[in-house]
Structure 1
Amino acid sequence: MTTPITFPKLPGVLAFQRGLLISDAAFYNQFADGKQTPLQVVRHGIRGTQNINKPSKTDAKDPSGDADANTSTTNNAKRQGVSNVQITDTAKLDHHASHLVVTFQLRLLDLADTLFSCAPAKDDTDKSTQSYREIVCQFVKKAKESVGIEEVARRFARNILNGRWLWRNRTIAKAITVHVTADQGVSIQADALAIPLHHFDNYTAEELAVADFLAKGLKGNLSKPALQVTATIAFGIQGAVEVFPSQNYVENKPKGFARPLYTLGDAETWRMAFGEGMTFKSTRIMGQAALRDQKISNALRTIDTWYPDFKEHKRILPVEPNGASLDAQAFFRSGKSSAFQYAKQLNKLDPNSPEGMFMIASLIRGGVFSGGNE
């Protein structure tokens, strides 16, 4: 009987590429006649009020009713700066639009192609690295024949059809229809708000159909493993309703600059001319509103109910090696339950087990698993 190989450390160079290639999701206005136009992000100035949780004894009205005291309070408010003048970006529907449309494309890689690099560090032997590569290939082969990969695909399908990837736009929606199409004659439509966000039970026929396509793509059984995903959203009112693309992180923002939004395309050239008529533009079109592919990917892979403390926390996590959650600002996987530890045990993992399904999803997520990152 052959003794299973153990890996006290991972290869010095070990990386997996993403098994889901995802485009940015572009925003469109849709009108009653079906016509669509790009939904633009607009940069403009606003004057709001300063609302900071910084109590001051002089902020409250003087209980004595002294008029001079109240005047002093008013003057103090002026000194503190009641106004909050900002430059910000806003994305709003065209005031004649009836719906918001958000659309992206997704292509699946064969799970066998996710291993991007596996090479020794200075203190690794070529033999141990080659052995690990063989173990990865064996795990992938077992995974492609398992029920585990089918369940991972079903969970991804649920998050596609329930519109989790729409983030805040889903929260404020009155109705959402998600339409999934592919070249192989796939055309599936679902009521996103009728599909649950908080569990992975009782899959619908539509979810199972999308999951079947995803699983076939991950197994390498499709010639054209690509999907078009389109959400059509109604907000229950018509007009220039604010919608929510991704936000940009900007370090050392200019003073008075509030919020930059993510766009596709180039911003219009800024022109300000004080000629005859003293005309100038008070707004600037920054480009077409969009959700970043990383934000969509994070939503689609929010399927981890396999971590040890799920019954206690009841929080579905994005698949991350250490169970990182930005919402909770915490790591829910550490030590023996991290993907780094499971990666050392690929030759022992059952792809149908919770640990095995988590590792299938981790390979689809991709990332660097090199020994130095343990």
Structure 2
Amino acid sequence: MKLCKQLNYVRSLSPGKAIFFYKTPESDFVPLQVEVNKIAGQKSSFSEAYDGSGNYKNTAPQDLAFANPHTIDACYIPPNIKEVYCRFSLRVEANAVEPRVCIDPKVKKWLEKLATQYKNSNGYDELARRYCMNILMGAWLWRNQHTGGTKIEVLTSSGNTYVIEDARRLSWHSNWQSQDDEVLNQLTKEFSQALSDPKVYWFIEVTATLKTSFCQEIHPSQRFTDNVEQGESSKQLSTVTCTDGKEAACFHAEKIGAALQLIDDWWHIEADKRLRTHEYGADKQSLISQRHPSKHNDFYSLVIRAAVYIRYMKRHNLSDDKTSKDIHYVMAVLLKGGLFQKGRS
């Protein structure tokens, strides 16, 4: 199979914003607000005293001791609040069963056959399990996972509720306790069906209850600001406006999605980390592509083997071998969605 000039998929996972709030005797939803602080920072960067060649600048000793005033956003738990909540919703659709746009009928046919055979081989169960693990482990809380206890509750549109009493005891590679593993299995069944059956309309609401310490700092998403005008915060945190006009700290939907997509440990036989699903295996921590085209393990090098993968799945069960891992990865990228066509030239 060859890639065509117009090919795209709609994402199958659509998270909403995750909102931070707390409860009081008077209200079950009090938005956790962001405050603006003016601080006298210190001059500590390399460029304050050294030039690009590493030579120290002609500065007086007093110059590096002066304060560096600036304005930043911050978010802290109010006094006497012992628990804070973070909630988001997720819509799951079976958008990988076929391309949204495909100019080449042959390519469309092969990709549809790939999705059909993947379903028949129970491949969606593996992807669903990985997404559910990230949900139940609280990976989407990012820096806020370090708490006195983290309870995760998942309410599905099917009317079922799944609860993990303390997500801190869960990890990607360890064996989960029987009750937690049962929660994972049941949620995976619903998730897998939603990924593979276009007739299923499935949503979940996920709520984390975080046990916090006195006036603990919370880390919502940070806004990207190109130009900051005088008087504005150089570090701006994300908020959403509630019906009463108050601003609640939040995670961007994209940040939630990035956490759910942390499932790619197929990129190497000795992979020591999970990567966010990406066509070239972008490793932001190491600033390197783990699926560089020179390694022939990037998405575009693998998806053209669709016919090979179909024949393989007809003859073998999906297991832990390299071909099975490549198939899971290709389907994970299609579930992520995006534009996959060749350039116009």
TM-score by length of 2: 0.84
Q: Is 1:215 aligned with 2:156?
A: no
Counterpart of 1:182 in structure 2 is 156
The amino acid across from 1:299 in the alignment is: A
Query: Where do 5+ consecutive residues of structure 1 fail to align?
Result: 1-5, 58-74, 120-128, 270-284
Q: Once structures 1 and 2 are overlaid, which stretch shifts more, 158-167 or 364-373?
A: 364-373
Counterpart of 2:55 in structure 1 is none
> What are the superposed Cα offsets for residues 81-105 of structure 1, whole Å, 9 maximum, x if unpaired?
5312111111122223211211111
| Secondary structure, aligned partner of 1:370 | coil
Contact 2:15 2:257 in 1 (8 A): yes
Q: Which residue of 288, 310, 315 corresponds with 2:273? A: 315
Q: Which residue of 267, 290, 297 corresponds with 2:257? A: 297
Q: Is 1:344 aligned with 2:304?
A: yes
Q: Is 1:356 aligned with 2:304?
A: no
Identical amino acids, percent of aligned pairs: 23
Counterpart of 1:261 in structure 2 is 237
The amino acid across from 1:325 in the alignment is: D
| Secondary structure, aligned partner of 2:109 | helix
Deviation at residue 54 of structure 1 after TM alignment: 6.0
Q: Which residue of 322, 335, 341 corresponds with 1:370? A: 341
The amino acid across from 2:74 in the alignment is: T
| Secondary structure, aligned partner of 1:94 | coil
> What are the superposed Cα offsets for residues 94-139 of structure 1, whole Å, 9 maximum, x if unpaired?
22321121111111111455622112xxxxxxxxx10000111111
Contact 1:17 1:114 in 2 (8 A): no
The amino acid across from 2:218 in the alignment is: V
> What are the superposed Cα offsets for residues 222-253 of structure 1, whole Å, 9 maximum, x if unpaired?
64310001111112x23x22101111111133
Contact 1:216 1:222 in 2 (8 A): no
CA distance in 2, matches of 1:100, 1:53: 38
Counterpart of 2:321 in structure 1 is none
Query: Where do 5+ consecutive residues of structure 2 fail to align?
Result: 51-58, 319-323
Q: Is 1:104 aligned with 2:92?
A: no
Contact 2:132 2:184 in 1 (8 A): yes
Q: Is 1:36 aligned with 2:38?
A: no
Q: Which residue of 99, 121, 144 corresponds with 1:146? A: 121
The amino acid across from 1:243 in the alignment is: I
The amino acid across from 2:196 in the alignment is: K
Counterpart of 1:126 in structure 2 is none
> What are the superposed Cα offsets for residues 232-290 of structure 1, whole Å, 9 maximum, x if unpaired?
1112x23x221011111111334674201111128x99xxxxxxxxxxxxxxx8x2111
Compute the RMSD of aligned alpha carbons.
Answer: 2.8
Q: Which residue of 1, 19, 30 corresponds with 1:26? A: 19
Contact 1:155 1:200 in 2 (8 A): no
Counterpart of 1:66 in structure 2 is none
Contact 1:149 1:215 in 2 (8 A): yes
CA distance in 2, matches of 1:55, 1:184: 58
Counterpart of 1:282 in structure 2 is none
Counterpart of 1:80 in structure 2 is 64
Cα 1:368/1:110, change in 2 over 3 Å: same
| Secondary structure, aligned partner of 2:34 | strand
TM-score by length of 1: 0.78
Q: Which has the larger radius of gyration?
A: 1
Q: Once structures 1 and 2 are overlaid, which stretch shifts more, 100-109 or 48-57?
A: 48-57
Contact 1:32 1:98 in 2 (8 A): no
CA distance in 1, matches of 2:63, 2:274: 47
